Structure 1
Amino acid sequence: MKAAILLLTLMISISISAQEENKTQKLFLRVFDMDGKKIGKGHIHSINDSLIVLSKAKKLKKIHPKEIGKIKTKRSGGHNVLVGATSGALVGVVLGSVNPPTDSSGGTFTWAGGSSGDELASGVTVGVISGTIIGGISALFNNPKTFVIESNPEKWNAFVNSVKHNAINKN
Structure 2
Amino acid sequence: MATTITVPREYGYVVATTAFTFFLGAWHGMRIGFFRKAAGVGYPKFYADSGDMASASAEKKKQMYLFNCAQRAHGNYNENHPSVAIAMLLTGLRYPIATTVMGVAWSVGRLVYALGYTKKDGSDGKGRLYGSFFWLPQFALFGLAGWCGVKMVL
TM-score (norm 1): 0.29
In terms of Rg, which structure is larger?
1
- Give the number of the structure whose residues are more often strand, by fraction: 1
Normalised to the residue count of structure 2, the TM-score between the two structures is: 0.31
